[in-house]
Structure formats: structure tokens, C-alpha cells
Amino acid sequence: MTHSLNVFTFLFLFSSSVVFAAGPEWNVFHGPKGDNISPDTGLLRQWGEGTPKLLWKNDKIGDTEFPGYSGAVFADGKIFTSGNVKQDGEEKKAHEFIYALDLNGKELWKYDNGPGWTGHYPGDHSTPTFDGGKVYAFSPQGQLVCLDANTGKEIWKRQVKEEADAKLPNWGYAESPVVDGEKVIVCPGGKKVAVYAVDKLTGKTIWETPGNGDLAGYATVKVVEQDGLKIYFTMNQNKLLGIRAKDGKKLIEYDHPTQYDINATMPYYKDGKVLITAGYGDQGTGAKLLKLTVKGDEASVEQIWHEKKLDNQHGGIIVWDGYIYGAAHKYKGGAWLCLKFDDGAIQWEDRKVGQGSIAFADGRLYLYAEKDGTVALVKPNPEKFEEVSRFQLPEGPGMYWAHPVICGKKLYLRHATVLYCFDIAAK
């Protein structure tokens, strides 16, 4: 009897120690697949008059002097995001703080991650990442930190910008750390190091990809596995880079120059094809679909099509049922476009909603206009722009740049210092 009880106690304690999930999971920017497509079902098909029910809002994420653009991730029964907090007695100085909230929006802890971004478009641009009971964050000034998700206690940190001998990109770092197995991947874009893989438990370097001085882009890394070869795709200031995951060797450098060196949209991968896109219209390169070829431990890409009109600045794209949906930047003042994935043929263009970011769940696109906070529910239809419902967030400082997240049958929208939580479950 005692032996059975001890076995039961051991099994209970063991199972309790390894289970982190408590509530919905969306642990990294654009979700575990990197496509911003939520697995949620049973959602409202339309919102009717007014907004979906607002469950709560937290309006104390940073200070209004430095509006935030960080998204939110969800794991372990908590919400993680970041924002800039003004430092007492320091004019126009702020630090980036990482926040943990409970699922009702109440602050649990916050951590000072060093100097924040106070230049043009001040505020935090990166979203934290959760993995295995830990939170990883990459500050706009190049500090990579690992925190205990329950307490916010610092486990390790590194100033990778300085280590890599890197110059800050024009708007600070904006990528989110990516955890792959035992590695955390960040791309400081330095003279010494372009990409780091560090041990997620200790912060020690596993490998580093040599740099050539090209500045970092602003896009989060996309993890791709094809024909037995794992590749990390990222954007620097003017190229798509493909990095071999096992040792950091640079396999691919594909030119994608833009005005102001802004490559901010995360690469997309499907069926042996890589889609990249960037803003600034005629002075940018728009969108390109590339064929990825893998031969053993080597890889290469070649262009399939190129469409300048889809010059997505940083709001992201959704690929659904063979079609691409996303906002242009310069083309027709930021029109929303639908393109056929295989050949890039434009199916329609529409300006009923302003340029912005996009997410997908349960057969609906969620559009979030960057200038006025319009939120539109749109049915994906390659024949026409088919809006179902819309509402508008209150006016406030700064742009509406954080990407929408649908998690646990709730819609989360960030603007400036406010995180909103709306109930979108079908009744």
C-alpha cells in the first residue's frame, strides 16, 4: 500500500512538474507555425452592430509618451507582452519592460530589459517568446534575455548587439526570438556575427554565422525543413538569408533591396516555395515567390514570380486555400490585395479598409488598419473583397501596428499602452 502510494505521489509530482499549459497556447509571434493562422473554431461569423463584447483591457503597458507596437503571446495561463516605461528624471529616455498578465489582464510581474527605443516611432516593436516555462525577449537595443515565466526572475542575458559588433538598424531591433529545440535564434547583423544560435537554458553560444556588416532587418526568423535539411530564413537590410540550422552555415543570400533598408515581413514557406515581400512601392522590390531546392546539406533558391504591387511593409500576409491576402504599402495608397500563390496573378484590390496587419481564424480574415484602428472581419474570397463586419478602436497616440491575435476564442488587439481582449466565441 505504501509502495503504491509513493508511486502515485511520484507520478503526480512528475506530471505536475512537466505540464506548463494552462489555458490557450500561442507562444510565439505569428504562432507556432509562423503563419498567423489560429486553430480556433466556433467563432462568431459576424459581429453585428457595434463591437464584439469587450471582456477587459489593460491600459498600463508602458507609457503613452512611447506608444508600443509589441504583440502578445499566450502560454502557461499567462499573457506576455512588452512596452516602454519612461525613466524618472531622464528626458525622452525609456526602458523596455517585459510584462506578464493573467488571463483577465491583471499584471503579474514586469521586468526591466534595459534601454528602449525612443527614436522615430518610439516604443517597443518586438514580441516576447515563451518556451518551456521561460520567456525570451530581444530588446530594440540588442539585449537578449531569458526569464522565469512564473516570477519574471532573470535566468541569463546577453548584449548580442555589442558582441556582434553591430550597428543598430534605423528603428532598432524588432524581430522576436525564435526557439528551435535547444537553440534560441536572433539576428543582430553585425560585422562579426550576422546570426546567433544560443543555448536556451544557459545563453551560451552554440554557433554563430559570420557577419559582413549588413544591418539586421526587422523580420522574425522562419524555420523551414525540406528534404531532411532544416534552414532558418531571415531578412537582413537587403537580402533573404538561409542559414543551415545545425551549424550556422550561410546557404542562401538572395537580393531583396528596399528603400530605407526595411525588410520587415516574415518569410513564408509552403510546398518547397518561399515567399518574401517588402514595402516602398517602385523603390522596393514588392513580393517574390522563390523555389527552394535542397541537395544534401546545401540549398538554393530561384525566382518563380515577382509582383511589385504587393509591397507589404510590415503588416504580414495570410496564405489560405491557394491565395495570398495582404496590404500593399505604396500601391494605390495601401490597397488590400488578393494574389494567386502559384503565379502571383492579382485577383482583386480594394481600399475599403486602410493598410494594416492581418490574421486568420475559422474561415475569416481579421484586418487591422494602422492609421485609424478599424478592425474588419472579411471572408476570404478570391473573386472579391467580402467584408462581413467592422468596428473601430478608440483614438490614441501612435500607429495601430501590433498584429491581431486570436487565441482561446478571444481577439486580442494592442494599441499604444492598451491591450484589448474581445470575446468572439459563437453563442
Domain ranges of the chain: 70-124+126-217
Main-chain phi, psi angles of 231, to 5 degrees: -130, 140
pLDDT at 22: 57
Pick from 326, 421, 248: nearest CA to 35: 326
Q: Quote the CA–CA distance of 104 and 57 in Å, as a whole number.
A: 9
pLDDT at 13: 38
Per residue of the chain (427 residues), give pLDDT as tens: 444 334 333 333 333 333 344 577 999 999 999 999 999 999 999 998 878 999 999 999 999 889 889 999 999 999 999 999 998 776 678 999 999 999 999 999 999 999 999 988 998 999 999 999 999 999 999 999 999 999 999 999 999 999 999 999 999 999 999 999 999 999 999 999 999 999 999 999 999 999 999 999 999 999 999 999 999 999 999 999 999 999 999 999 999 999 899 999 999 999 999 999 999 876 678 999 999 999 999 999 999 999 999 999 999 999 999 999 999 999 999 999 999 999 999 999 999 999 999 999 999 999 999 999 999 999 999 999 999 999 999 998 999 999 999 999 999 999 999 999 999 999 8
pLDDT at 364: 98
Which residue in the block uniquely carries the three cell numbers 500500500? Answer: 1
Our CA angle for 302, 251, 247, nearest 5°, is 155
pTM for the whole structure: 0.93
pLDDT at 168: 95
Cα 87 to chain centroid, rounded: 27
Q: Quote the CA–CA distance of 245 and 63 in Å, as a whole number.
A: 38
Q: Quote the CA–CA distance of 138 and 189 in Å, as a whole number.
A: 14
- Contact residues for 392 (Cβ-Cβ < 8 A; gap 6+): 372, 373, 374, 375
Contact 311, 281 (CB under 8 A): yes
With 0-12 / 13-18 / 19 or more C-beta atoms within 10 angstroms meaning exposed / middle / buried, residue 90 is exposed
Please identify, in words, the CATH class of the domain defined by 70-124+126-217. Answer: mainly beta
pLDDT at 3: 42
Look at the alpha carbons of 354, 355, 359, 361 in this order and tell me if their dihedral is positive or negative: positive
> What is the side-by-side strand order in the sheet with 286-295?
268-270, 273-278, 286-295, 298-307
